[in-house]
Structure formats: structure tokens, C-alpha cells
Amino acid sequence: MPKEKKSLFVCKNCGFSSVKWLGRCPECDSWDSLVERHSQSRKKRQDHPVNQHVYNLDDLETRTEQTRFQTGIGEFDRVLGGGIVPGSLVLLGGEPGIGKSTLLLQVLSKLSNRGLTVLYTSGEESPEQIKIRASRLGIEGKILLACMSELEAVLQTVADKQPDILAVDSIHTLYSQDVNSLPGSLGQVKAASSSLMGLAKGFKIPIFIVGHVTKEGAIAGPKALEHLVDTVLYFEGDRTQAFRILRTVKNRFGPTHEIGIFEMKDSGLEEVASPSNLFLEHRNNSVAGSTIFPCIEGTRPLLVEIQALVNQSYLALPRRTTAGFDSNRLALLTAVVEKHLDISLFDKDIFVNVAGGLKISEPAADLPLLCAILSSFYDRPVDHSTVIFGEVGLTGEIRPVSHSDLRINEAKRLGIKKCIMPAYAKDKQLPQDMTVAQINHITQLPDLLFD
């Protein structure tokens, strides 16, 4: 008797499968997206190496830093936690045109110059287009190039060419015959990522995949890819500005929230040696509503300018607009100021901006923002050689934050003379050659800021 064909209903959008048809996909909530598939019609999956060996943890060699590949691009090595780890799958995300393909070509070129075999597969551009970019960037070295969008073809090419490093540009153009949905859909992207993960671990080669950011700001839909890969790097920054920030969102082999700063030039992405200078470069010293905040990004201190504009509002609901800062945090700080400093902001529009396009999520930014608001409100500038940091609580108290020493040292390095910060633990040594004001409540601020 012939074997009965089994039916499976698969969502075209997200790859969810069910044994019965459903009008609405419970996974991605899209309507009428389930289509019938017969399990016998499925092609056999192409085998990629599977490691079934069981190890004894004690017998394994410790992975030392020497086993990482150094690219020679310091900012890139930094975000990876000190270089590329063999067998890792790294997702490079960002908006179109931000410089993902440029960075990958530059990295591959550096590695090929060190004698490694590098393979770049692109489903987005033709070999000629890639050659034009490579010529513009002055790329040298032997880069193997394959323009293909079928997953099986990529796997086969890797098996044939045995590269030391693979870059796939982009994961959204990869298409597997085994998955019954369109390229770029969640099902395809997930299938391609897990195949590439198998490939990376099987062949012990690092693989970079480029991922586009959807309109909602997530990589390939609702964070679907992030847990599938080892490392997630995300390109931030305004495309209209020259500098780009590469941020580690997740890293199994190094610290997260690390950032690398690059400047986009005709000749490609260039490392920025002293980023604090970059963020403070265009600062106007004598304007009210601006303070300097020594923030910590990953393990690195950075001086950034926080700006606030407090204006009379003519709207029933005054505006609270933020760029680079959490708007809920702004609402909280506004309430704290009104309650404890006895000034009314209910009829004021408040605009907040972190100069240079950096996004700040540290609570230590509370105090510098609050000072910028006060400065704009009273229309009196804060001394331009002052750094401010500290967390503000609901009762107006100022709480200590981590890495005070790192912040102060970076400020000193850039010639800053004054610091307003939370009260230190008593046994801690205060920094020399700097005036340090330690405060524990925001009521101390007005006298201190505008003397």
C-alpha cells in the first residue's frame, strides 16, 4: 500500500507549521498566510557536518586570545571582544547605506593580506558592482567572490573552496529550496541562519552575515535572528553624518555594549582615534542648555554633549521630544525638578538631544540632563569645562554610579577642570588637579551651577 501523504500547513510569513489549517497564524498574527505542504514533497536537507563527539571538559585546551584572528582594524577587533573567534557566527545589522558591505570588504581585504582564504558571497550586487566599490576603497588582496542567493549553493561553495572566513551579504537574499516561503521572510532567514551556524561550527570558520533592519528597527522581524547567532553587531548613526558607531548588542565571546567609532570617507570607513574630541568638536561654549557627560560605552569612557531646550509652550499638551535619550526618563526627571526645585515646567516644551547621534541609556546621564534643563530654563550657561554625572532618584537624591574613576580620568585627559558628581564613599581618594563637587541632592544644584 502506498504511504499516505501527510499534510502540513506552513505560514508563508514566519515559517510556523500546524497539522491543521488556521485562518490566522498564531505566531506572527498574519491572516490567510498558511499554505498546505506535503511532507513527501520536501527535498532531503543537504547534510552539513554534524559534530557528535562527546568531550571531557578538562581535556579540552583553553581557548587563548592567540586563537582569535586580529583584523588590524582596531575598532572592529574591539567590538568583537579582541578579534574574530573561529567558528563564530556574527550578525552585522544596520540600515541600508550605512556601510555594512564596505566594512566587510575592508575586513576581508585585511585578512586576505595576512594569507587567509576569504570568501564573500553576495546576493545583492553583481561582481562588477562589487569591483567598483572595491576599486574605490583601494581594496587589495585575494578575495574570492561568489554572487549567489541559494543557500545550498553557498554551502557547496564553502565545501569546495574551504575558506578561512566567510561573509554573506545579505541573509535576507538567501533562499533555501527546503523552505516554502519567499526570500527575506522569517522562515527563510531562520533556516539560512541555522544552516550557517552549523557550517561555522562544523568547519570552525567564522561567518559574518549582513542583516537589514526592518522599518520597526528590528533585524529581520521580531528579534528572530539575535538568539541564533553568537555575536550581534549593529551599525548606528545618522547616514547624513560622516561617523558611524558599531555597537556590540550581544557577544558570546566578549563584553556587550562595546562600541567602535568610524568615519565614512570616500576611501571607506576609517577608525576614529579620539572619539571624545569628535563628540565635543562643534560645542559652543557660551550657550545655555548644554552640559558634558562622561558616559561609559562598553568598557570605554566617552565625553558627549547633552543639550536641552526649555521653551514656553503654546500647546494644550506641552511637547517632550528626545533624540538619543529615553523619553520616559525625561518625564521622570521633569517631575523630580518640579517637585524638589519648585519650578513649573507644565507649560514648557522640552527638547532633548544627545549631540552627535549617540544613544544613551545609562542612568548616570540623569544629572547632566537635569543640569542642561535647568541651564536652559534659567537661560544661564554651565561652565564649559565641567563634566557632570550621577543618577537621580524620585526623592531628588543623587545616587552613585559605576566607573567614576574611568569617567574622571577621561575628563582629565581632555583638559576638563571641574566635575559635579555623587558623593563618593568616604574612604575613596578624590582626584587631584580637578575641582570636584560632590552632591547628594538636587537642591544643591542651582547654587553650584550658576555661581
Ligand X SMILES: Nc1ncnc2c1ncn2[C@@H]1O[C@H](COP(=O)(O)OP(=O)(O)O)[C@@H](O)[C@H]1O
Please give the residue ranges that form the binding site for Mg ion (CB under 5 A): 101
Q: What is the DSSP string of 180-238?
A: -S-TTSHHHHHHHHHHHHHHHHHHT--EEEEEEB-TTSSBTSSSTTGGGSSEEEEEES-
Identity of the residue, 101 or 404, whose beta carbon is nearer to Mg ion in the bound complex = 101
Residue type, 193: S
Quote the Cα angle for 150-155-160, to 5°: 125
**Cα–Cα dist 327/345, whole Å:** 15
Nearest distance from C-beta of residue 264 to ligand X, angstroms: 5
**Cα–Cα dist 368/308, whole Å:** 10
Nearest distance from C-beta of residue 169 to Mg ion, angstroms: 6
Strand order in the sheet with 17-18: 17-18, 7-11, 34-38
Q: Which does 97 bind (CB under 5 to 8 A by kind): Mg ion, ligand X, none?
A: ligand X
Q: Between the CA atoms of 127, 128, 132 and 138, what dihedral angle is there, to the nearest 10 degrees?
A: 50
Q: Which does 127 bind (CB under 5 to 8 A by kind): Mg ion, ligand X, none?
A: none
Q: Which does 237 bind (CB under 5 to 8 A by kind): ligand X, Mg ion, none?
A: none
Identity of the residue, 101 or 276, whose beta carbon is nearer to Mg ion in the bound complex = 101
**Cα–Cα dist 214/217, whole Å:** 5
Interacting residues with ligand X (CB under 6 A): 94, 96-102, 136, 239, 264, 266
Q: Which does 324 bind (CB under 5 to 8 A by kind): ligand X, Mg ion, none?
A: none
Q: Which does 266 bind (CB under 5 to 8 A by kind): ligand X, Mg ion, none?
A: ligand X
Identity of the residue, 103 or 442, whose beta carbon is nearer to Mg ion in the bound complex = 103
DSSP state of 59: G
Identity of the residue, 207 or 398, whose beta carbon is nearer to Mg ion in the bound complex = 207
Nearest distance from C-beta of residue 124 to Mg ion, angstroms: 6
Nearest distance from C-beta of residue 103 to ligand X, angstroms: 7
Nearest distance from C-beta of residue 104 to ligand X, angstroms: 8
Dig out the grid coordinates for 359 from the structure. 544613544
Contacts of 275 (CB under 8 A, 6+ apart): 261, 302
Q: Which does 26 bind (CB under 5 to 8 A by kind): Mg ion, ligand X, none?
A: none
Residue 292: phi and psi, rounded to 5, are -105, 130
Q: Which does 264 bind (CB under 5 to 8 A by kind): ligand X, Mg ion, none?
A: ligand X
Identity of the residue, 26 or 96, whose beta carbon is nearer to ligand X in the bound complex = 96
Identity of the residue, 266 or 427, whose beta carbon is nearer to ligand X in the bound complex = 266
**Please, are residues 254 and 248 in contact by the beta-carbon 8 Å criterion?**
yes
Identity of the residue, 96 or 138, whose beta carbon is nearer to ligand X in the bound complex = 96
Nearest distance from C-beta of residue 123 to Mg ion, angstroms: 10
